[in-house]
Copies of this chain bind each other. A is one copy, B any other.
Amino acid sequence: MDTLSGVPPRSADPHLHQRIINTAARLLATEGAVSARRLARELGTSTMVVYTHFGGMDELSRQVMRRGFGDFGAELDRGAVTDDAVADWMTYLWSYRRFALREPHLYAVMFGPGLAAFRLGDPADLEAARSTFVSLLRRIHACVNAGRWEVDDVTTAGEAVWSGVHGHTTLEHTGFFGAVGRDPVRSFSEILTRMSIGLGDDAPATARSLSTARRRAVRADRTDAASAR
């Protein structure tokens, strides 16, 4: 109705822009969906803020996606660089899986077919996604430099690796492994193992690296679980 001046008129919040993105990301993570009205209710505003600040839900989703890629990349790059390059590469991919499992909806926004990063070719979106890919390529390069792998085209190898882990995580998100009573960890290990051997490593060395990376991953899982409490 008419605006009663009894209600203190909300002064312009200088951080509203970021608050919207943060709240949208939180709602996405906790409730699996973000609607303009749900978001407005959470923010204590009207749905119009989405349109004055982002022009619509699409652009907001892309901003959430960009932030997601930022967090994703930061978390992936946290992995140490040791003298076992293949183990480092595997650790990187275990972190990849950990993030995807912890943030399934964010991952879906980032890689899903909805308003995927690449279709609406905003260079900033493309760059956000590409930087994490480049980070993977560095790990692969290290394996080549260490003499473990023989790869002429690192980018193509990176695409193959990425396809494998991305496919695995999306399958795991659908609940496939649980539904058929299979172990996703075993399947993921298989991908890492066969890929490493296929890229030139010998089987025993890959097995040793897998053990190392698996140990690190279990420890990181525990840290993750502890910080969630």
Contacts and interface: CB of A to CB of B under 8 A. Distances in A.
A175 B108 contact: no
A196 B199 CA distance: 10
- Protomer copies: 2
Interface stretch (A8-16, A54-62, A187-195): A187-195
B160 A191 contact: yes
A229 interface: no
Nearest to A184: B159
Interface string A34-66: 000000000000000000000000000000000
A1 B29 CA distance: 46
A207 interface: no
Interface of A: 108, 111-113, 116-119, 121, 126, 130, 153, 155-157, 159-160, 162-168, 170-171, 173-176, 178-180, 182, 186-187, 190-191, 193-199
